[in-house]
Structure 1
Amino acid sequence: MMGRHDWSASVLPPPEHWPPRLSALVDLMLVSPTPTFIGWGPGLGLLYNNAHVPLMGDRHPLVLGCPLAVAWPKLWEEARPIAERVLAGESIHVEFQRITVRTGDNDRDAWFHACYMPIHDGDHGVQGIYCTLQDTTREMLTQQHRISALQRLQQLFEQAPGFMAVTQGPEHRFEIANEACTRLVGERDLVGRTVREVMPDVAGQGYLELLDNAYRSGEAFVGRRMAVHVSRSGNHREDRYVDFVFQPIRGTDGAVTGIFIQGSDVTEQERLEVQLRESEAKFRTITDAMPQIVWSTLPDGFHDYFNRGWYEFTGVPEGTTYGNAWSGLLHPADMGRSWQLWQHSLATGEPYEVEYRLRHRSGEYRWVLGRALPLRDQGNITRWMGTCTDIHERVIAREMLQREAQRKDEFLAMLAHELRNPLAPIRAAASVLPAAAGDAERTAQLADVIERQVAHMTRLVDDLLDVSRVTRGLAKLDLEPDDLKSIVTGAVEQVRPLIEKRRHTLATWMVPAPVPVRADRTRLVQVFANLLNNAAKYTPDGGHIELRVDIHDGEAVVGVRDNGTGIDAQLLPHVFDLFSQGARDADRSQGGLGIGLALARSITQLHGGQIVGLSNGRGQGSEFIVRLPMAKPATDAPATAISTQPAPRGNSGCSVVVVDDNVDAARTIALALEIAGHEVSVCHTATAAFAMAAHGPASVYIIDIGLPDMPGYDLAQQLRRHPGTAHATLIALTGYGRPEDRERSKEAGFDRHLVKPVDVGELTDLMDAISSCPSHAT
């Protein structure tokens, strides 16, 4: 390479003119495997070996023999002081010297360890520089990467939101600390100072002991939400809460040399959590004090809270009904609809409301009202809050009211049916009467039809009034010593025609001894007649009825059993309810208003007894048992017989005024009394009746209580005050027959109280009795 080079432009002569010292060094350089160059002579002409050629780039071989300052113009600025020192006789070692290599238009940097040595030439002193290069580019790049990584780590260390520090030695002297650490301790200059010096107020808080223990044991310590009291400017003491770790740092020999401290100031989080815990405690206190069940779910419907009321109601252990486990307490029949509505609310955000049965701790399923509303944050549902209210009694009462309303409707339908039945023949007879005016026999037949049907309607109305008085406790019993067997026998005699008509067999057994009771005979006959009547009606023709009178445990016991249609299990608990009846055919062939058993129970209870109904179901017959308290046998002398022979009929009629705004009713009564031989006038208002009395008083006034211009009570009082009618007989005519109604009539001045519809025979008998009195003879 050097032999073929043109040395004419060089600061060095051709090789054949080189001094022996230079030639020897060049020969040594050329065989060296490492990049080596020589700078010779006053101009430091450049000579280099083949290993050095790549460092010259495009300048090779043009720079061969050129001065170093020309060959490396940029490097010369850095290398010139080195060259001057070497030429002065000093050997110099330079690490990581950068050399820029240009190839084409690209420059690249390479780093070398350079060893500069002076070249001595005998007496001529230092004549040049001999330099060997070792490529350290890879080491340099690795070091640069490491430095860059350390710089990034330092930046992260400084910028970390949590506090970080490294202490050295057993005295825990700060080696490094980030900004967050200085803010926590309130000091700026930490490095080089011990923890005790920087934070003397933690000496009694246990943290220095934790550092000592971590340093001695080599085991890390992790603290959670630990309180630390730090002093601020002005002796202000501040409580902070920190999460931290004391991590021992070990040297190459495995011994602990320091502690890495890392953590976060969680004071604000702790305060928020304290506030949240306080808020939750208040919430739990409030919800636990509520008389309702309170529950809450996540937005997806996951149940994560139940108040104390839930656990007291259900009796389940706490925490066992989270998620969907609570649904196991729902009544199976209510689960489908409840889940459907709940899923709909979760999907739409609409309020949730449903009634369902929830299993109580007693095992009973009780009705509750479930409600839930969504809590929203900026339109998004964050939680559902719900309640369950025990409405069991309300639901039962509502169902009872519904059943009562249904029974009332059924009763009204039955009443309409029962009233239409007698009205039909009455209407038919009334329409035929004009055509039979001249036929006495047919007229009598039609009158008999009307009388029977009116009597039937009267019994229906009397039954209603009777049950109203008894069930409301308004009836007064006339209790007398009596023999229960005699009472029962009387009931049998009343029902025997129906039993014989239906071809039933009646088996009767009565205890031989008397069965003394204190009883209202009429009422108890009514009870047992009703039971026997029901047995006869609801037993198919040719059935069997058993009647038993016995004494058991000091009580009188009467049982009526039949093999009839029986009673449904669903109806059995309600047979004594007012207007309750079993299933009937559309033609209602048995009739009745469904009030008999209600009346029987009330009368029995008024006697201090009880009545129960038994049946195994439809088609299995039924049995009713009445229990009454026994009475001591009567020891009183027998009552003196009183004559009940009718008084002799008067020889002449009375003057009568009938006052009734019902024209047909007034005319009918007047016609009946005229046929009986009385002189009758008719008025339709109280005013007209009083005016008639002023002109010509009558001996008898039959007055309707409900007159249009004034109550009949007021008219009676006016007549009593009038001299001409002060001693007249006043008869009240009304649809009200309660004892209090009769008492009010008496207070108003009436002598008699008749309940509509009036029995014509009873009325004519009464008038005959009045006319027989001399003071009323005309």
Structure 2
Amino acid sequence: MGTVLWDMFPEPEKTEGYRMHHKALNERISVQWETYSPNLKVWVGANAYPISDGGIAVYFRDITERKNSEQALEENKKRLESEVTTLQRLYDLQSKMSREKDIMRAIDEILAAACDLANTDRATMQLVREDGVFEIVAQRGYAESSPFITYFREGGFEDGCHRACRERIRIIIEDAANCPGLSGTEAGAITIGDDVLAAQSTPLVSRSGTSIGVLSTQYRRPYRPSDGEMRLLDQLSFLAAEFIERHRAEEALRISERRYRNQIEDALRESQNSYHLLLDSMDQGFGIIEMMFNETGYPINYRFIDCNPAFEKLTGMAVKGKFQTDIFPETEEFWYKKFGQVALTGEPIRFTNVVKELDRWYDYYAFKVGEHDSRIVGILLDEITYRIKAEQAIRESEQKALALVAELEKADKNKNEFINAKSHELRNPLAAVVAGLSLMDITEDKQKIAQANDIIRRQTNQLCHLVDGLLDLTRITNNKIKLKKESIELTDLTTSAVEDHRFLFDNKGINLVVCLSPKKIFLEVDPIRIEQIIGNLLHNAAKFTSKNDVVIVKVTQDTNTSEAVITVMDTGRGIDSKDLGNLFTPFTQIDKSLDRSLGGLGLGLSIVKGMVELHGGRVEAYSEGIGKGTKFTIRLPLQKKNIVT
């Protein structure tokens, strides 16, 4: 009181408030604006309007909470957008790596992604060689002559990357200058001298559980990655480990095929005895078959001439000397065509297929044995059932990632639609309050002043109701609601809630019927929240019913499930069956035009669901369709004294 306005808002000629005050004063019109007060450290919403003595009246209100909520919503939007972008980046990288044949090019892509995800320009990948040496196989962001890379190329920091790989845990060095094991050592001097002031190492652990190395990022400043960055690095490290392990397995298989084929051909030339000794020592399955063709040259069967022990072990069958039709009478035509093609053309083939009768996947390499007119085919095979299932799991993971992206985008879209649509619902009561204040300033008519008072009181209550709904939903979503449970009798509490809301139905001429259990039903609940739940359902029923409709409130006890059952059903508007699934979803409205015309933010049912679930119960909605009424059923666990055993 008595403070000069410009003391609160310095440099008045430069502020929006200064201009709006003068606009209202000079042009004799009502204006409104929002501004931030550094002195008060609050956001202020203001309305200025002319009054009869030639001056202006100004109404200020604290809008800091709304501004903070808007800022929080905007930050959430940016976070969701960032997460969607990052997930898409990881999905694209995973798809690219599934096709990439050059391992070093793929690792370079992985390091580039690691730098982006970890907010740095430096990264390294260290892998364990066959001889057990820990080696930096690729780096990003360092000069070719980097002392750091040179020093740690074949080795690494024992308490850093070595430990991360060995114990399969992430190691974080937030400040290299003060890190035990580095500080005061040659390794520490080289590390800090090359501007490496912080680092993290994430183990490369594949789906099979093998730890093959580490993915590290380094920083030019003391730094600790955020939880979000570490989660993304975990996903990237898993993708990298899967790719490297798969690439190594495929390369080993190719080398093995070449080695074994050369060995087989040499052995066949040398002697039959050496041939059998070699086949028996192989860990790959090897078999020789003779193709059978009909008179038209079409392959119809084949006979196993020979096979090694590994073939029988991998298939679980003794096949030597048997025809394929004797082993599997319903053999698919695919097998005859594949091996018959090799016998006829002499061109070797490699393919992967499942033996359905065994429910096993194999990788095959088939080649012709002998001269042009020979019908003998050699077969090398490896069981790859585990790999195929792992690839299937990766594809399912990709699908889940895409579904998550779609879900995040949908949530973001729903949130934006909610904000755009519901800003009007919050603004309308404010406008009515301002109008009422304006009326009180320009009139001395007691009746009009009383009307204005009623408007202001009613709209203020409406604003409080809207804001309470938003706050309740936020608390439920963030698990911030603390229930104050006590033993209550449900029929008495329901009667109280119904009587508090009976005027809603009396004013509209709606028939309200209450059917209560004759037995006392005791619950261990928060009575205020249970009354709120019943009140929200009664508000909803009153909103969507008309004169002469019937609303029935029923309270019973289900002894089979040990639950109290509260039912609120009406003969009102009803709900389309396709909309029932979204009825309790926040930020989603089933009928936007209808809901807005009736007022409110449309959060009541979301709050009901959240409150019921906090009490360990559940809520269901049912309607046969538009014009056929709606039924809401709430089930809450009984207090132990109610349960009959």
The alignment's TM-score, normalised by the length of structure 1, stands at 0.32
Structure with larger Rg: 1
Higher helix share: 2
Higher-RCO chain (CA-CA 8 Å, sequence separation at least 6)? 2
